Amino acid sequence: MATKKITGQSKLAQTTESKIDSKERLDLVPSRKKPSLKAYRLYDDDIARLKEITATMNKESHRHISETAAIRALIVLGASVTGERLLKALRETI
């Protein structure tokens, strides 16, 4: 039986080439901000307060709230508080 050389390209090869050639980017879903890792040293008292705050939030919420989410909420609250109140709270912790 004679073998025949295939000279053309398959449909699959044509579609993969067209995908590689097209650099079109569709922004259908906005990209999320990538979180950056930060490490902080907390005293045992601070960790106990954080756990207490997280437990209080979990009682009020219908879903589980992590300590990271609690810290984010505290940062948002801290942004709306005056600097004088923040310094007063800092003095109380020292």
Does the structure show a pLDDT above 60 at 20? no
Cβ atoms of 67 and 54 closer than 8 Å: yes
pLDDT tens profile 59-92: 999 899 999 999 999 999 999 999 899 899 889 8
Residue type, 58: N
d(CA 66, CA 69): 5
The structure tokens 């437990």 sit at: 55
pLDDT tens profile 21-68: 556 666 777 777 788 888 889 999 999 999 999 999 999 998 999 999
Domain boundaries, the chain: 37-94
Higher pLDDT, 20 or 63: 63
pLDDT, position 46: 92
pLDDT, position 53: 94
